[in-house]
A = this chain, B = another copy of it.
């Protein structure tokens, strides 16, 4: 239940007209595609704390300046660093053949020369957690849970448990390593990497995602009834902590510059693809949104702040440190939103605002509906990084993209520019300019929302 608040001040008709003009301009001439093209070609992989990350930070500042933002600056954050080495896996018995794998983020190495052990299959991480230690000790745990495809991406939550909690569970049972069926919806021979929960794991073991066809292979071998033995040879290394940056660009408000509409995306990516969908598209969408608004004859009433968060992929690190650093200014952020779900069309408009302000969302919907967008719920987190703000009472909005194919590419080498449809980005920017401009321009605000527990 959300707080009651003062009654909503309706959006001004003139502001709605300006938003409509912006929407049409976005559909006709917005060019977020060039931004994601530039980022993927000129920077490419940009995992937090790597050289690519540094280049991305430089790219973002340079680009924002060129686009005409009023202020461009960075805020340093501290990140845990890790070097990915090779990861080889092969079945050694009974049917020798190589497997396609990828180390999960911050995973351990094998001993030099590798390790060989029998695999033991588990339906999901719960089954592993509940298994007797003697079943798994010294062996390789194989979590074989499939992810369901959905426009909302709702299959991700259940499936990602194996990735976030599997290595810890395997290590605690004395397993030699973890093999995980990739958290993804494709059937291509790509492993999906991603973050694990590693804090406090005493003896981390190597943890590898298997591509779906490779998980199928192991499954089929196990069905034949003989023990299946796998050799792993993995070289990874934890490095000393280091700096990364949130990159911030502002279109400064003409009347209430201290009040902020914060729209974000994350600048970092995983290191095997070029991060076109995750989250190059989001970076491009919010940058292009601000550019279009900055080209109006006058600045909106409030400041529109674009934050390209660092180190989202390794635990919302940039967002958490941003919120910590700006604890005292959070009440100046009247709304937060993030684009981080690929490059599909926006199909739903969610909010997290007091019910008393629903009339404003309804007015926004008048301009969003022609884009094929329906009104969703009031439980939006605003996106992964935004959720940290929402947890601190900041109202949020969410322009939900069609994620049907998102997890075909997510965190794989196959997350590349060719998966981005320029027309879809235009529709995204059209929705974003409507929401962002109206929030920055409107008379009233959204108050606060109850912090999430």
Contacts and interface: CB of A to CB of B under 8 A. Distances in A.
B41 A217 contact: yes
B45 A97 contact: yes
Given A418-B187, A418-B213, A96 B51 contact: yes
Nearest to A90: B44
Contacts of A385: none
A52 B97 contact: yes
A358 B221 CA distance: 48
A371 interface: no
Interface residues of A, number: 35
Contact of A220 (B41, B96, B217): B41
Interface in A17-59: 37, 40-45, 51-52, 55
B416 A44 contact: no
Contacts of A45: 97-98
A98 B84 CA distance: 13
A414 interface: yes
A398 interface: no
A58 B203 CA distance: 43
A100 B419 CA distance: 16
A221 B38 CA distance: 10
Contacts of A188: 188, 414
Interface string A88-117: 000000011110100000000000000000
B37 A417 contact: no
A386 interface: no
Given A413-B100, A418-B216, A41 B189 contact: no
A322 interface: no
Given A190-B189, A220-B37, A220-B41, A213 B97 contact: no
A273 interface: yes
Contacts of A212: 418
A337 interface: no
Contacts of A182: none
A274 interface: yes
Interface string A74-97: 000000000000000000000111
Contact of A416 (B189, B414, B418): B189
A220 B43 CA distance: 12
A188 B37 CA distance: 17
Interface string A400-425: 00000000000011101111000000
A358 to B, nearest CB: 43
Contacts of A189: 190, 273, 412-414, 416
Contacts of A413: 100, 189
A35 to B, nearest CB: 14
Contacts of A419: 187
Given A52-B97, A188-B188, A189-B190, A221 B41 contact: yes
A95 B418 contact: no
A97 B213 CA distance: 27
Contacts of A43: 95, 97
A55 B41 CA distance: 43
A300 to B, nearest CB: 34
13 contacts: A40-B217, A41-B220, A41-B221, A43-B97, A45-B97, A45-B98, A51-B96, A52-B96, A97-B274, A188-B414, A189-B413, A216-B417, A216-B418
Q: Enumerate the 3 nearest inter-chain pairs by beta-carbon distance, A residue then B residue, closest first.
A: A44-B97, A213-B416, A187-B418
